[in-house]
Each structure stands twice: as C-alpha cells, then as structure tokens.
Chain A
C-alpha cells in the first residue's frame, strides 16, 4: 500500500485589475456600462459621506453605536452591483454602502442606528435581509434562502457578506459545508479588512488566504484586491453567473482595510499603528476609481455637494420622525398576540396613560449632551 500524493489540483487566484497606482489591466477590465459606472461611484461616495456624517451624528448623541465602512466601499459596491433586484443580499453589520445600492433609504438606516426597529425593515418587495450582528450567523440563512430558491425553481442568487473574523466561527464553516453539499446558488463575500476589532488577520487564521477555505468545501475561492472595484466586480460577476448556471457557490475574499474605527465605541490607536493606516489610505478605493472615471470623463461635477444635500435632507426627515410608540413592541412579537402578552400589553398601556405628560405643561428642556460629546451648532438644526 504505497503512500501517494492525491492530485487535488487546488489553487486560488488573486485578481487585481486596477492597481493602487492607477495602472489598468485592459485585458481583464470588465465591460461595465457608463451609467452603471457612474452609479457605482456615486454610491461609493454616498457611502463615504454618509459614514462621515454618521460618525458626527453618533458623537452628538443623535444616533447610537454603528460600524463605519470607510475604506471598504469598493468591496461592497463591486459585489452588489452584479446582483439583480430579484437576487438576495444578506449583510452582516458593516454594509451601509451595499445597503444604499440596494435601495435602503438613508433616513431608514439612520433610524435603525437610533435604535428603532422600523429602520431595519426591508421594503415589502426588497430581497434583503436586515443587519445581522452575531458574527457569521447570517451565513446559514443565505444558504437556506438559496436552497429555497432552488427548491422553488427560481433563478435567484444569494450574496452574503461577512468579515475576516467570521471565518473563525463555526457557522461560517457549517454554512460553507452545507452550500457545497447542496450545491446552491450562493456567493460568499468576505471583506477581509485585516482587523476583527483589535485582532489582526495573522492571529485569526494560519491560512495564507481566506479564499482557500472554499477549497476544503469543494467549491472555488478567489482572492481579489478589495480596494479595486473592477476586480471585485469581475470576480463577483463570474460567481453570480456560475450560481445562475447551477454551478454552485463561490467564496470571494476581498482584501481591503477598515480605515476607521470598528464601531464608534472603539479606539484603534490602541492596537494598530498610524503608519499602517496611512499606508492603506494611499490605496483608498475612492481615489482609485475616481481617477479611472476621470480618464473616461465620467466624473460628475458637484457630486459631493449634491450627496451632502441628499444626506442633510434625510437627516431632517429622520429627526422629524415622531417619538417611538412603545406599544408597537407587541405588534410583531408573534403572528397573533398570545393571551399572556395581551395582558402585558394592557398593563403597559395603562402605565403609559398614567405617565402621559400633562399637555398644558411647559415644553421640557432638551437633554444635556452626554459626557464626551461635543455640543455643536447642528444640535439645533
């Protein structure tokens, strides 16, 4: 019984089309219509501007903790831009740009991060799952959706997002394994942003790439320059077409970088160097894609101002929302409210009615800013 080498023919490609210096590999350049290119750039910029605005809103106490996307716009937009409306998008919690592409209204995203569940409600015809916070646990859902699509004979594709840290979780491996065995139309998009809060990728895995993890589950994995939107798009397009053609799942590892904080409650200076951040800032996906569009004369003048105005309008709409009605917490607990909950609802309704403010009393003072928050002129906007 000799010991022989199994010729597994396993390999992982790395794809880069538009590099950090702006050099373009024209042979690999995907053919994207001008209108789509403009919309992709527009959504990336909107994602970046909204991100910056949301950090300020959080510092002012107007929204709660959230996870900024700065630096990861190409990984998100390059991937979702290959989906059709009837395809499914399954996010984790750092996909604001992808959500904007998929049509989530800005005021709704703001409402979500202001602690209002109605902000997380996808539109009736929208095939997006809501933000999922426990790391990697959304991935089996994506596989189940894809199984259901296949079961019903629909040709929908499911694209699921997650980070480098998620690849250490059991649900990631279980989802990949089920996807491989069931041969379902799923595209797994890993945004390897190098840091799972304070833990760098080299402490997360001993694998050379995250893409290679797909090979163990019997389907292809590819690593792409995640700050190169053309590479992300090309790889995603290939994966989506494979899925549509019944050729099963694909894992795409987008090598990118979180330029900002993990969440607004995080201080990255504690665990990573300023020099490293500076180095990645030079690979900013917006700069690179902007230069590419400039050469094609597709840059829209006044875009920043226009998008800022759009965000400002959404902030106004968001801040004009009526106060959250506590009693609605009972509406969607179950399909039909069970008897014990009917009693709890009644109790709360009575309690709220007793505590209702006297309408003739003077307007209450606004709450003081929280500790560490700047009070700015926007406070009164």
Chain B
C-alpha cells in the first residue's frame, strides 16, 4: 500500500497499464514533456518516449479522431482533453465515430479507447475550466461514462477503462485531484465499470452522488445523523453509463426516499434519468417525490458566484429534510 492523491493514483494506473500492454499509448496537449497540466501523465514521457506519450498539436478533434484511427488499427489510446469545457471541439468524433464504430461495422471494428477529461468546479478557474457536462456523454449510446470519487477507485476504474473494449469517457473531478490521499495497493487493481457502490449504509433516505459531489453527500449524511438522528444511505455511482439501476432501486426500496446530487445543471441532467429509473423500479416503495440538488440552469456564472449554483452540504441537508418531512 502507498498513500496517493488522485493525480498520483491515476498516474500509477497509466504507468502500470502501459508497462503491461505495449498497445496502450497516451496522447493529448502537454501530456508529454510537461506531464499534463494536472501532472496526471508525469514522467510517462521519460519512461516510454515520445512515440507512446504523444505531445499532440493543439486540436481536440484530431486528438480524438486520430485516437479512433489508432483504435481501429488495434491500439488502445488514452486521450487527455485538457479541460472538459474544450471537449465540444471533439464531441463529434466521440459521438459520430468512437461510440458508433462497433455498430456501424457490425463488430468488424471497435474503438477500445479512453478519453480522460478533468471536469467540475470549486477550483476558482475561468470559463470552460470548471463546468460539469457529463450529461452529454451519458446520453450517447455506445459510450461508457465513468466518474471516480477518490484516489483508489480512480486508479482501479482507469485500469478497467483502458481494458474495456468500448470507448470510455473518464471524468476526473478537478476538485478531487489533490483533495485527499488514500491507501492504494501497489499491485494492479480493477473495479467493474457499471457498478455503483454503497458508500455508507442507512435506512431513512438515499443520497445519490458521484465524483466531487460524493464528499458533499457524505458530509450532508453526517449532518443529518448528528442533528436529526437520520440514517442516510449514500450511493457513489462511479459509472453513469451504463447506470447501475439495481443498486439504486434496491436502496430506495429500503429507504423510500431519494435525493440526487450533481454539479451538472438540473434540467435533463443525470438526476432526471436516475429519478425515472427509481420510479420504474421502486415506485410503490416511494414515500416522497425524488428530489434533485443540482447546478441552476443558467450558463456558466463565473467562480465568484459559483458557490450559489453548485450544490453544497447545506443545500443537500435542506432538501433531504424536506424529503423526510414530506
């Protein structure tokens, strides 16, 4: 075991997968000599050289587009998009091609590739550097969307993403990169994609979160326990697509109440799909409407006002109390 923050844990996953499989390579802006603007690819260039750790020209569409070509050839590229806010310049390559190649060619080709991108607020950054836009990828058939919540699961999920035969969009919460360290085993560890985790058990209410919002949900659960004597179950989704409906439904069948927390804007966000899935699976168990605590539906507000929009502990506690009192 070593104690690592999320940046180092992700770096370990890349290092070990590249050592294990010569078909795995890394490409993106500043991922080589510089080691990535968040240092996730640090030292990989020194270890594996410029042919495997490619400092690409500054062009998101070609980073993903050439990775599609590499994947069609049989390589396993891991792209880094510097910030998820810039991924709209490669969204067409992801949606039109990476996600569809297996179906389009009826299995003759597929895209085993990962597109990593930092997302989310709380880092006092400019526009396009702190948005949460995971809903776009969750909506695209053919993709998988993974959002780890801490160093250990980030490392284990990145290993699985690299080994997964389908394109995986890998969202890394910037706010978590250096937030805390965790014990991470030195030998490779993988976590199944598509499986949520019960982060904390409880009987009275289910809080559902992922990425940086997991910590918010856990802290809200602690407030509810200490101040209200309420036992909140907290689910860490880890994968948004495919969604682990079973874990969600089983939890709400037990608690009868659910609050979904996410940083993406509310409308048509992951919370809507989660709420619908719970309704379909646990309708008769519900004691209250499922609530969403999400960013407000306005264009990016600037980090001076970000706190009012992005969910925090007090908002989650307030909504949870309304749900419990319904």
Give A residues with C-beta under 8 Å from B. 117-118, 120-124, 129-130, 132, 134, 137, 139-149, 151-152, 170-171, 174-175, 177-178, 181, 329, 331-336, 338-341
Cα distance, A140 to B102, chains bound together (Å):
18
**B102 A178 Cβ-Cβ under 8 A:** no
Residue B39 CB within 8 A of the other chain: no
Cβ-defined partner of A140 (8 Å) among B66, B73, B75, B244: B66
Cα distance, A335 to B144, chains bound together (Å):
11
Instruction: Quote the shortest CB–CB distance from B95 to chain A (angstroms).
Output: 10
- Chain B residues whose CB sits within 8 angstroms of the CB of A177 once the complex forms: 57, 59, 62
**A335 B66 Cβ-Cβ under 8 A:** no
**A339 B194 Cβ-Cβ under 8 A:** yes
Cα distance, A249 to B105, chains bound together (Å):
27
Instruction: Quote the shortest CB–CB distance from B87 to chain A (angstroms).
Output: 15
Cβ-defined partner of A142 (8 Å) among B69, B109, B246: B69
Instruction: Quote the shortest CB–CB distance from A107 to chain B (angstroms).
Output: 15
Residues A178 and B106 in contact in the complex (CB < 8 Å), given A145-B73, A335-B166, A339-B194 = no
**Which parts of B30-85 form the interface with A (CB within 8 Å)?**
51, 56-57, 59, 61-62, 64-75, 77
**B103 A333 Cβ-Cβ under 8 A:** yes
Residue B305 CB within 8 A of the other chain: no
Instruction: Quote the shortest CB–CB distance from A39 to chain B (angstroms).
Output: 25
**A174 B108 Cβ-Cβ under 8 A:** no
Cα distance, A156 to B141, chains bound together (Å):
32
A to B CB contacts below 8 Å, 24 in the list? A117-B104, A117-B105, A120-B104, A120-B106, A121-B107, A122-B108, A140-B61, A140-B66, A147-B69, A148-B70, A171-B93, A174-B57, A174-B59, A175-B65, A177-B59, A178-B57, A329-B103, A333-B103, A334-B165, A335-B164, A335-B166, A336-B165, A338-B194, A338-B242
- Chain A residues whose CB sits within 8 angstroms of the CB of B51 once the complex forms: 151
**B106 A175 Cβ-Cβ under 8 A:** no
**A141 B61 Cβ-Cβ under 8 A:** no
Cβ-defined partner of A141 (8 Å) among B57, B69, B243: B69
Cα distance, A356 to B236, chains bound together (Å):
42
Instruction: Quote the shortest CB–CB distance from B99 to chain A (angstroms).
Output: 9
Residues A144 and B105 in contact in the complex (CB < 8 Å), given A134-B92, A333-B141 = no
Cα distance, A134 to B93, chains bound together (Å):
10
Cα distance, A144 to B246, chains bound together (Å):
39
Cα distance, A335 to B142, chains bound together (Å):
9
A contact patch SS: helix
**A141 B72 Cβ-Cβ under 8 A:** yes
Cβ-defined partner of B107 (8 Å) among A129, A141, A331: A331
**A340 B102 Cβ-Cβ under 8 A:** no
The 4 residue pairs across chains A and B that have the minimum distance between CB atoms = A144-B69, A140-B65, A148-B73, A338-B242
- Chain A residues whose CB sits within 8 angstroms of the CB of B67 once the complex forms: 144
- Chain B residues whose CB sits within 8 angstroms of the CB of A121 once the complex forms: 105-108
Number of interface residues of B (CB under 8 A): 46
Residue of A nearest to B67 (CB): A144
**B70 A147 Cβ-Cβ under 8 A:** yes
Residue B257 CB within 8 A of the other chain: no
Instruction: Quote the shortest CB–CB distance from A109 to chain B (angstroms).
Output: 15
**B68 A141 Cβ-Cβ under 8 A:** yes
- Chain A residues whose CB sits within 8 angstroms of the CB of B107 once the complex forms: 121, 331-332
**B65 A174 Cβ-Cβ under 8 A:** yes
Residue B245 CB within 8 A of the other chain: yes
**B97 A143 Cβ-Cβ under 8 A:** no
**B141 A178 Cβ-Cβ under 8 A:** no
For A140, A142, A331, A336, which residue has the most chain B Cβ atoms within 10 angstroms?
A: A140
- Chain A residues whose CB sits within 8 angstroms of the CB of B142 once the complex forms: 333-334
**B102 A148 Cβ-Cβ under 8 A:** no
**B65 A144 Cβ-Cβ under 8 A:** yes
**Which parts of B93-138 form the interface with A (CB within 8 Å)?**
93, 96-97, 102-110
- Chain A residues whose CB sits within 8 angstroms of the CB of B162 once the complex forms: none
**A143 B62 Cβ-Cβ under 8 A:** yes
**B96 A134 Cβ-Cβ under 8 A:** yes
Residues A144 and B194 in contact in the complex (CB < 8 Å), given A118-B106, A177-B62 = no
**B69 A145 Cβ-Cβ under 8 A:** yes
Instruction: Quote the shortest CB–CB distance from B25 to chain A (angstroms).
Output: 7
Residues A171 and B61 in contact in the complex (CB < 8 Å), given A129-B72, A140-B93, A145-B70 = yes
**A124 B108 Cβ-Cβ under 8 A:** yes
**B245 A339 Cβ-Cβ under 8 A:** yes
**A332 B106 Cβ-Cβ under 8 A:** yes
Cα distance, A58 to B298, chains bound together (Å):
47
Residues A151 and B25 in contact in the complex (CB < 8 Å), given A141-B97, A339-B246 = yes
Residue of B nearest to A149 (CB): B73
- Chain B residues whose CB sits within 8 angstroms of the CB of A144 once the complex forms: 65-73, 77
Flag B136-152 by CB within 8 Å of A: 1 or 0 each.
00000110100000000
Cα distance, A174 to B60, chains bound together (Å):
9
- Chain A residues whose CB sits within 8 angstroms of the CB of B69 once the complex forms: 140-148
Residue of A nearest to B239 (CB): A338
**B75 A151 Cβ-Cβ under 8 A:** yes
Instruction: Quote the shortest CB–CB distance from A134 to chain B (angstroms).
Output: 5
**B104 A145 Cβ-Cβ under 8 A:** no
**Which parts of B242-288 form the interface with A (CB within 8 Å)?**
242-246
Cα distance, A331 to B93, chains bound together (Å):
22
- Chain B residues whose CB sits within 8 angstroms of the CB of A134 once the complex forms: 92, 96
Instruction: Quote the shortest CB–CB distance from A136 to chain B (angstroms).
Output: 10
- Chain A residues whose CB sits within 8 angstroms of the CB of B245 once the complex forms: 339-340
Cα distance, A340 to B193, chains bound together (Å):
13
Instruction: Quote the shortest CB–CB distance from A219 to chain B (angstroms).
Output: 14
**B103 A117 Cβ-Cβ under 8 A:** yes
Cβ-defined partner of A181 (8 Å) among B57, B65, B144, B246: B57
Residue of B nearest to A175 (CB): B62
Instruction: Quote the shortest CB–CB distance from B162 to chain A (angstroms).
Output: 14
Cα distance, A335 to B92, chains bound together (Å):
21
- Chain A residues whose CB sits within 8 angstroms of the CB of B56 once the complex forms: 178
Instruction: Quote the shortest CB–CB distance from A148 to chain B (angstroms).
Output: 3
**B66 A341 Cβ-Cβ under 8 A:** no
Beyond known contacts A145-B70, A178-B56: 12 more, CB 8 A cutoff: A137-B93, A140-B65, A141-B65, A144-B66, A144-B72, A144-B73, A148-B70, A148-B72, A171-B62, A174-B59, A334-B166, A340-B245
- Chain A residues whose CB sits within 8 angstroms of the CB of B93 once the complex forms: 137, 140, 171
